[in-house]
Amino acid sequence: MNITLIATTAMGLESVLAREIKELGFSAAQSFNGKIEFQGNLEDICRANLWLRTAGRILIKVGEFKATTFDELYEKTRALPWGQWIEETAQFPISKVTSRKSTLFSKSDCQSIIKKAVVDSLKTYHKVSNLPETGAPFAIRLQIENDLVTLSLDTSGSGLNKRGYRSHMDLAPLRETLAAGLVLLSRWRPDKDVLFDPLCGSGTILIEAGLIAKNIAPGLNRQFVSEQWQIIPPELWAKARQEAQDSIIKENNFQIFGSDKSWRALEIAQKNTGLAGLTNFNYQKLNLNETSLPFSTGKIITNPPYGERMDDQEETEALYKEMGLHFKKEFAEWSYYVITPHDDFEKLFKAKSDKHRKLFNGAIQCWYYQFFA
Ligand SMILES: C[S@@+](CC[C@H](N)C(=O)[O-])C[C@H]1O[C@@H](n2cnc3c(N)ncnc32)[C@H](O)[C@@H]1O
């Protein structure tokens, strides 16, 4: 069965996700704004969900067509092979509707038309007059862009950033998928480069690095909604999980250090690291200006405070200045990777980055400043 899969991601991470998809053995990945399309089979739904570190969700593309009228939207949606996926008893909410630069822009109208078309299509396919909608969920997504309608089914359920290792949510941590992206973009080599985050908070960057180092599939400790679908036999999930389990590198082949000025953050970081199944991390309570490591080279990847509130701005700017001075003194031959929305970061840090890339931390447009040793 040949299926078109769509992996979604945060804007700016498309090339990293494309690299991951290629490394997982898929070819001909096509990249759009925050989305990558590739071809796979049922087993690949399991593998993509388990393995793709920077993907937000894995969707099945059910169909794509041009539509400028509601009649066209209804007819073309109804003609798609919904019954092939959606079981007679399934729930099938229209979970997300987006419309950009298109004639059909009323989301609520599009939503009810899609629902009606899918209901009619399923009744015909399953030869029934009633659909109880009590079974497994098949969330439908509708995207209209320049009158091009894309309809897809969500195979992930909760977003793939939910790895199952987060014990607390109150520190505004970095999204796991973005943290993994920062590590992959830095081209960190676990067996060669020391890794340090001196403002580690709950440790997301370091934990994602640890998962990469040990080749632990990020989804290994969670469930996916499509595990409830009849069309994917449980053996396929079991096989993909077993393969992921067998791929784990047993020894700790990395040197990872984290520090923060906050005890509470460090407590959470320790706890999350354990929940992620990782050991041998070195956490210390230190102020940024007290940090030092006995290695001449390595990589610092960090997500400092952004100073979003007016009264925090001065403190944040002072921290960025201190960071520049301290890194150059204590970590002179290291590479640094810093994500912040601050346009003046380089001025405060007093160095011009070798590269900077636009990335989104949720809705916040940031820069990923990269300084190479
Ligand atoms: C945006 S948070 C990092 C969040 C982290 N990436 C995560 O995913 O949880 C910034 C962290 O910097 C720490 N911090 C701020 N100023 C510091 C300083 N001068 N020295 C050490 N840590 C500091 C804060 O305690 C906070 O945990």
Token pair recorded at residue 218: 């990020």
Q: Calculate how far, in angstroms, residue 300's C-alpha sits from the geometric centre of ligand 1.
A: 14
User: Does residue 203 share a domain with residue 98?
Assistant: no
Please name which of 232, 223, 222 lies closest in space to residue 86, comparing C-alpha atoms: 232
Q: Calculate how far, in angstroms, residue 64's C-alpha sits from the geometric centre of ligand 1.
A: 44
> pLDDT tens across 115-140, in order?
999 999 999 999 999 999 999 999 99
User: Does residue 150 share a domain with residue 21?
Assistant: yes
Number of domains in the chain: 2
DSSP type of residue 371:
E
Three-class SS of 1-70: CCEEEEEECCCCCHHHHHHHHHHCCCCCCEEECCEEEEEECHHHHHHHHHHCCCCCEEEEEEEEEECCCH
Site to substitute for ligand 1 among 260, 263, 264, 288, most atoms within 8 A of C-beta: 260
Instruction: State the DSSP string of 173-198.
Output: PPPHHHHHHHHHHTT--TTT--EEET
Identify each DSSP E strand in 128-169 by its residue range. 140-145, 148-154
User: Does residue 180 share a domain with residue 89?
Assistant: no
Q: Does residue 162 sit within a domain?
A: no
User: Does residue 149 share a domain with residue 180?
Assistant: no
Three-class SS of 270-316: HHHHHHCCCCCEEEEECCHHHCCCCCCCCEEEECCCCCCCHHHHHHH
User: Does residue 332 share a domain with residue 202?
Assistant: yes
Q: Does residue 314 sit within a domain?
A: yes
- Do the beta carbons of residue 61 and residue 5 sit within 8 Å? yes
> pLDDT tens across 242-285, in order?
999 999 999 988 999 999 999 999 999 999 999 999 999 999 99
Question: Which atom of ligand 1 has the smallest separation from the CA of 269?
Answer: 9
286-305: b (≥16 Cβ within 10 Å) or e = eebeebebeeeebbbbbbbe
Nearest CA to ligand 1 atom 27: 201
Nearest CA to ligand 1 atom 12: 199
CA distance 307 to 313: 5
Q: Calculate how far, in angstroms, residue 339's C-alpha sits from the geometric centre of ligand 1.
A: 12
Nearest CA to ligand 1 atom 3: 201
**Which of 98, 121, 154 is the endpoint of a domain?**
154
Residue with more model confidence, 311 or 214: 214
Question: Which atom of ligand 1 has the smallest separation from the CA of 268?
Answer: 9
Q: Does residue 296 sit within a domain?
A: yes
Q: What is the pTM of this model?
A: 0.96
Cβ-based neighbours of 156, under 8 Å, separated by 6 or more: 49, 57, 58, 224, 225, 226
Question: Which atom of ligand 1 has the smallest separation from the CA of 288?
Answer: 20
Residues present in the chain in total = 373
- Do the beta carbons of residue 47 and residue 24 sit within 8 Å? yes
CA distance 370 to 345: 12
Please say if the pLDDT value at position 62 is more than 80. Answer: yes
Predicted pLDDT of residue 273: 97
Q: Calculate how far, in angstroms, residue 158's C-alpha sits from the geometric centre of ligand 1.
A: 27
Please list the residues that pair with 93 across neighbouring strands.
none
CA distance 328 to 196: 15
> Strands 57-66, 3-8: parallel, antiparallel or unpaired by DSSP?
antiparallel
The CATH number of the domain where 135 resides is what? Answer: 3.30.2130.30
Nearest CA to ligand 1 atom 13: 199
Predicted pLDDT of residue 312: 83
Radius of gyration of the chain (CA): 23
Q: Calculate how far, in angstroms, residue 304's C-alpha sits from the geometric centre of ligand 1.
A: 6
* Res. 168 pLDDT band, cuts 50 70 90: confident
CA distance 234 to 242: 12
> From residue 45, how far is each of 2, 3, 36, 344 by CA, in Å?
11, 9, 14, 42
* Res. 310 pLDDT band, cuts 50 70 90: low
User: Does residue 182 share a domain with residue 150?
Assistant: no
Cβ-based neighbours of 319, under 8 Å, separated by 6 or more: 288, 304, 305
Please list the residues that pair with 97 across neighbouring strands.
142
The CATH number of the domain where 203 resides is what? Answer: 3.40.50.150
User: Does residue 188 share a domain with residue 150?
Assistant: no
Site to substitute for ligand 1 among 183, 257, 261, most atoms within 8 A of C-beta: 261
Q: Calculate how far, in angstroms, residue 166's C-alpha sits from the geometric centre of ligand 1.
A: 17
Q: Does residue 234 sit within a domain?
A: no
User: Does residue 111 share a domain with residue 47?
Assistant: yes
Q: Does residue 244 sit within a domain?
A: no
User: Does residue 257 share a domain with residue 127?
Assistant: no
Q: Does residue 163 sit within a domain?
A: no
Q: Does residue 19 sit within a domain?
A: yes
Nearest CA to ligand 1 atom 5: 201
User: Does residue 143 share a domain with residue 22?
Assistant: yes
CA distance 7 to 152: 11
Q: Calculate how far, in angstroms, residue 201's C-alpha sits from the geometric centre of ligand 1.
A: 5
Mean pLDDT of 95-106: 95
Predicted pLDDT of residue 253: 85
Nearest CA to ligand 1 atom 1: 305
Mean pLDDT of 328-351: 97
Q: Calculate how far, in angstroms, residue 96's C-alpha sits from the geometric centre of ligand 1.
A: 34
Question: Which atom of ligand 1 has the smallest separation from the CA of 302?
Answer: 6
Please name which of 87, 82, 85, 136 lies closest in space to residue 114, comparing C-alpha atoms: 82
Q: Calculate how far, in angstroms, residue 236's C-alpha sits from the geometric centre of ligand 1.
A: 41
User: Does residue 116 share a domain with residue 204?
Assistant: no
Q: Which residues does a 6 A CB cutoff place in the pocket of ligand 1? A: 171, 173-174, 199, 201-202, 204-205, 260-262, 265, 287-288, 303-305, 319
Mean pLDDT of 335-362: 96
* Res. 10 pLDDT band, cuts 50 70 90: very high
User: Does residue 344 share a domain with residue 300?
Assistant: yes
What range defines the domain where residue 301 resides? 176-218+250-371
Token pair recorded at residue 68: 């400028």
Q: Does residue 321 sit within a domain?
A: yes
